[in-house]
Amino acid sequence: MNVLVKILLSSVAVIIASYLLPGVYIDDFITAVIIAVLLSLLNATVKPLLVILTIPITVVTFGLFLLVINALIILITSSIVPGFQVDGFWWALIFSLLLSLINALLTDLSKDNQK
């Protein structure tokens, strides 16, 4: 799938997730695009380093610590992008889970349309 399409689908997922959660605020669609791009960059660069550094705690928690890493990536993004506000760690965790679910659904729908 084209990178631009993936970014746009992620942006739509960000808008939907922020609409559903009262603890997450996004100004407009341009901000959602910036969030999607920054999340993909942080997931490609910072997240692997955090995963490697936290292997022992991830093993002890049977992988649940990866959810904490995802929430931290969301909080880092909210501190960088103006117009994106997350009210705390728990909202970031819920936003991360919901964003993953919506992204999976939108990606699946777009693959069905390509067939």
* pLDDT digits 0-9 by tens, 51-92: 999 999 999 999 999 999 999 999 999 999 999 999 999 999
Residues of the domain holding 26 = 3-114
What's the pTM?
A: 0.89
Read off the tokens for 23: 């603890």
How many independent structural domains does the chain possess?
1
Give the 3-state secondary structure of residue 22. coil
Task: Determine contact, residues 70/103, Cβ cutoff 8 Å.
Answer: no
d(CA 16, CA 103): 10
